[in-house]
Amino acid sequence: MTENFQLPESSKILEQISARKALGIIIGLSTAAVLFLFWLIYFNEGSETAPSWISNLSAVNAGLNSLSTVFLLLAFREIKRKDFQKHMRFNLAAFVTS
């Protein structure tokens, strides 16, 4: 079942970017992230001491992952309701918290 729908005004800028350019940006950013992580893991020497708050990072990570999951579920609900504006906002929030 195909339905015609209009994108929200705030997403009209996405129509100006070609798929080829978007793919180039995505691949470029992904490559930069992988190269940075490779350097960080294999070539950067760690410090001898760690701040006391480091032990809390796993709990912070778990909390942010939980928030990301909630935002993705809310985005899924909004796309089913065809509320594209809220869908985009929830996806952006999920991206930020991931």
DSSP letter string, 20-67: HHHHHHHHHHHHHHHHHHHHHHHTSPPPS---GGGGGHHHHHHHHHHH
Both 73 and 94 in one domain: the answer is: yes
Count up the domains in the chain and report the number. 2
Average pLDDT over residues 25-54: 92
Residue 46 pLDDT level (bands cut at 50, 70, 90): confident
Both 42 and 61 in one domain: the answer is: no
Both 64 and 93 in one domain: the answer is: yes
Q: Looking at the domain assignment, is residue 51 inside a domain?
A: no
Per the structure, the complete domain to which residue 64 belongs is given by 57-98
Instruction: Write down the pTM of the prediction.
Output: 0.62
In the DSSP assignment, the letter for residue 72 is H
